[in-house]
Chains A and B, each alone.
Chain A
Amino acid sequence: MATVDLKDAKKVYSSGVEAVKGVSIAIPDKELCVLVGPSGCGKSTLLRMIAGLETISSGTVAIDGKIVNAVGPAERDIAMVFQNYALYPHMKVYDNMAYGLRNRGTPKDEIDSRVRSTAKVLELSALLDRRPRELSGGQRQRVAMGRAIVRNPKVFLFDEPLSNLDAKLRGQMRVEIKNLQRTLGVTSIYVTHDQLEAMTLADILVVMNAGLVEQIGAPLDIYEAPASTFVASFIGAPPMNLLALTGGLSGPTLADGTAIGFAPADTKAATLGFRPEDADVTFNAKAPSGALVLPATVEAVEPVGAESFLHCAAGGVRIVMRVAGRAAARPGDQLRVVARAEKLHWFDKTGKRVG
């Protein structure tokens, strides 16, 4: 139905805050793009620029190949689901969903059939005569979705739509949104700061930091090869373990002076990282060669059921290990963390990936 193309889009607020500092993203038709990043990094601003609710300071936003910088929000043919849903409090669910269609002069019987079929898909049929305040949070969320879907727009925009729901409902709605988006085949942009939502929903994941794009790619590609220490520590829970390197006489050493024992993948490497699940925990004194071996002291054990997290002090910093099932280790235990060389990530002084 539509592609969305951002070219060097910038936003400077009248107060002088530069919220978006030149972002280029190309979103193919029918794909779901997730913008993720810490609070204040400009995700909402970028989304609102695409929606037409904020002016674009420079650069272009194109929908379906047409530059829409000067087009009003209503004419862009997009629908948005707001964080607080923004349902019209005085209108019944039916009218909330029908309002946008009425303003566009859609014939009455078509409005009726569209509202009713959308309500059916979202299991809202029994609630059409209620007002928003007579609905639960999850139901309101569905109505907000319905209001967007019923218009059959070119693009859906979501600004943290699930952040007001409890964890269980959030999980359900996440799956539902993904299914709906796939069946409807509508290009979508989804803002969240929840990295789990980002990983599970995205066709294209955009990691933002301080108004700039840190990395764009498929979620697993980003997970497996984060472009920077920022991405490495933002994507994944618990995040990647990062250990700073200092150049010693006999090769790089960790903060506590432990030599890593082999050459880094790149001479500029200043930080090494490994995922909590990418290293083995062993009490065995014998270490395989060609692997990073860290003596570690267990500080805390967090069992979560299927797996356990071991918080350890190693190499002068605190690292987290993920082990399957019940952990045998107890706080205070001395053990070894063994990460094979091909599972290590290397970053340079500026935090950029080097191998």
Chain B
Amino acid sequence: MVERTPILNFVTHLVLFIGFMLAVAPFVIVAIAASHNLKEVNDVPMPLLPGGDFWANIKTAWITAGLGPKLLNSFIFAAGVAAGKVIISALTAFSIVYFRYPGRTLIFWLIFITLMLPLEVRIVPTYAVAANVLSPYQAILDVTGLSWLIEKISGVQVSLSLGLLNSYTGLILPLIATATGTFLYRQFFLTVPDELTEAARMDGAGALRFFIDILLPLSRTNMAALGTIMFLWAWNQYLWPLLVTTDPAHATAVTELKQLIPNVGGIPEWNIAMAGTLIVMLPPLVVVVAMQRWFVRGLIATEK
């Protein structure tokens, strides 16, 4: 039941307003700090009204941290991860929902188990693999004694190596696998009526045609949702890009922010650091605003 009394209205709005202030306060402080010069930002207490050096600080931050190419890196990285996740999870869910093959349940549970192994848990082995994609095979050869055998016979020492450090592939690939996305799609595919699948079969659509012509268009809003969430998630990744990009030229904007953070004993340029933060926050914001229209449309006009 929805109650509407003036008092209740006031209270709900008050609660809403307090929540909003709590959420937005850190952002406001960042924005204010970014608009003062070095002296003002280090005043105690910090001024609570915006200063006049906003654009100058933005410019300094942009140049100092070399944010132009870093933002591009970040964008390619986050878009790559989001696209990869959307595609991979759609494909895996398609396979799990629409095909009956031996080992299907096993595969389903294997995917499920990866939920318990987030990147942070398996970061060392993942790094080892990224450093040399072929290291697992090398290990197999070594353990089985095959490499010893080959060395004895041919005199060639086997050392397989293919590094992915400092490359977009290395940044993106290990983050693409996603159980969450697979489950999201699985749930959606299960709601697609069987009759639709059968109608497509009668219309001569094979599995791939059905996937491309029927399932993908129907899951547009799902893709938008998953893509946006994953874009944000990837954009904010810190640990993995930090490990994989030893060369600053390949670093992402988020990891490069640390360039702007004052060192101990250095000049406390918090205004510049905050300006840089603002710049790095902007692209995800744009993505969310752009994709929001999709969510809303998807929610209102549910296609039957």
Interface, chain A (partner B; CB < 8 A):
48, 51-53, 72-74, 78-80, 82-84, 86-90, 99-100, 103-104, 131-133, 147, 151
Contact = CB atoms under 8 A, between A and B. Distances in A.
Contacts of B200: 88, 99
B40 to A, nearest CB: 56
Interface in B34-80: none
Contacts of B303: 89-90, 131, 133
B204 A82 contact: no
Nearest to B219: A90
Given A84-B193, A99-B213, A89 B304 contact: yes
B202 A51 contact: yes
Contact of A74 (B204, B214, B217, B301): B204
A133 B304 CA distance: 7
Contacts of A87: 199
A80 B204 contact: no
A52 B202 CA distance: 9
B151 interface: no
Contact of B203 (A84, A99, A132): A99
11 contacts: A51-B198, A53-B201, A72-B201, A73-B201, A82-B198, A99-B200, A103-B205, A103-B209, A104-B204, A133-B301, A133-B303
B205 A86 contact: no
Nearest first, the 8 A-B pairs at minimum CB distance are A100-B203, A86-B195, A103-B204, A74-B204, A86-B199, A89-B303, A90-B217, A82-B195
Question: Most chain-A Cβ atoms within 10 A of its Cβ — which of B204, B213, B301, B304?
Answer: B204
Given A48-B198, A74-B202, A82-B198, 17 more contacts: A52-B201, A53-B201, A73-B201, A74-B203, A74-B204, A79-B202, A83-B195, A86-B193, A86-B196, A86-B198, A86-B199, A88-B196, A89-B303, A90-B220, A99-B205, A147-B199, A147-B203
Contacts of B202: 51, 53, 73-74, 78-80, 100
Interface residues of B, number: 20
A99 B301 CA distance: 23
A133 B300 CA distance: 13
Contacts of B199: 80, 82, 86-88, 147
Nearest to A87: B199
Contacts of A74: 201-205
Contacts of A72: 201
B177 interface: no
A73 B201 CA distance: 7
B218 interface: yes
Interface in B202-257: 202-205, 209, 213-214, 217-218, 220
A52 B204 CA distance: 12
Contacts of B195: 82-84, 86
B193 to A, nearest CB: 7
Interface string B180-208: 00000000000001011011111111000
A90 B200 CA distance: 13
Nearest to A74: B204
A74 B209 CA distance: 13
B6 to A, nearest CB: 39
A79 B193 CA distance: 18
Nearest to B197: A86
Nearest to A159: B195
A100 B218 contact: no
A139 to B, nearest CB: 14
A96 to B, nearest CB: 9
A99 B67 CA distance: 49
Given A88-B214, A89-B218, A103 B203 contact: yes
A90 B218 CA distance: 7
A2 B76 CA distance: 58
Contacts of A83: 195
B115 to A, nearest CB: 30
A72 to B, nearest CB: 8
B146 to A, nearest CB: 44
Contacts of B214: 88, 90
A332 to B, nearest CB: 51
Nearest to B214: A88
B196 to A, nearest CB: 5
A172 B209 CA distance: 36
A151 B198 CA distance: 16
A132 B196 CA distance: 13
Chain A CB within 10 Å — which of B199, B213, B220, B301 has the most?
A: B199
Nearest to A148: B202
A51 B204 CA distance: 12
A29 B13 CA distance: 72
A131 to B, nearest CB: 8
A80 B201 CA distance: 11
A80 B124 CA distance: 56
Nearest to A82: B195
Contacts of A132: 304
B208 to A, nearest CB: 11
A27 B231 CA distance: 59
A132 B199 CA distance: 15
Contacts of A99: 200, 203, 205, 213
Contacts of B203: 74, 99-100, 103, 147, 151
Contacts of A78: 202
A248 B198 CA distance: 58
A72 B301 CA distance: 35
Nearest to B301: A133
Contacts of B193: 84, 86
Contacts of A86: 193, 195-196, 198-199
A90 B127 CA distance: 43
